[in-house]
Amino acid sequence: MTTVGVFDSGVGGLSVLRALRAELPQVHFVYLADNAHAPYGEQASQTVLDRALRLTERLRSEYKIDGLVVACNTATALAIDELRHTHRDLPFIGVEPALKPAAALTRNSHIGVLATRGTVHSTRFAQLLHRVTDEPQRPLHVRIQPCDGLAHAIERADPVAIRERARFHLSQLHAQEPHRPPIDTLVLGCTHYPFASNILQALCGAGVQLVDTGEAVARRTRAVLSLEAPAAGTGPGSVTLLSTGDHHPLEQAAARWLGMSAQVAAT
């Protein structure tokens, strides 16, 4: 059975794992939540890189993974190039804010991006933004809002804090360039944010489309690992959940968002 590692700073990467399980039900996934060091989005770049290297080594040595999904926008932005250089024989799949899908979906060319500070200030994000907006035939207007505290509120499953942080950051986003038309497409540039999509949608209104990367990452994982669709009668895959800190938040999140009743092993 193919084994794929998945890591994030905490529970946010479960949004990617949910899409991976739907796309690749025959695979064994090992999900590692580094919640002892969460969230990554407000950590120093070197700290995120060091954690990514350490988690990769652990997943490789203990679980013999065939590929690794970096289910965190910040870790992808700050660490995936070094991970690929250090582990040349291991396929990596990263996540990045879904600017290209948003560009295809927007009707008025006005897009908003919610992401962590670590993501929006990274070189990788700047390059992505340049590629997407450097289309003279259809200029895009992109408003970007770093969302301090939102991932942490989602990590704690605190609905009051989630709503307060979401309302604040959306108000800051909408206040940018008030002379321009409002956004009609909102990119959820952190894997935690899809778990606040109901709140974000209610605050934005029905006229704004929310876009995340889970399904695209799952399709990319299938392609990179050259995995075929499971044959009829193929045995189901499985999931191992690991946590570097308190295991209860991951167990509760897996039950709430993935319908999984699984025991988390501390690492």
Could you list the active site residues?
72, 190
Contacts of 163 (CB under 8 A, 6+ apart): 199, 203
SS3 116: coil
Strand-pairing partners, residue 140, are none
How many angstroms separate the Cα of 27 from the Cα of each of 23, 43, 62, 240? Answer: 9, 32, 17, 11
Residue ranges of the alpha helices (H) in the chain?
Answer: 14-23, 45-63, 73-86, 99-105, 117-120, 123-133, 150-155, 159-175, 197-204, 214-224, 248-258
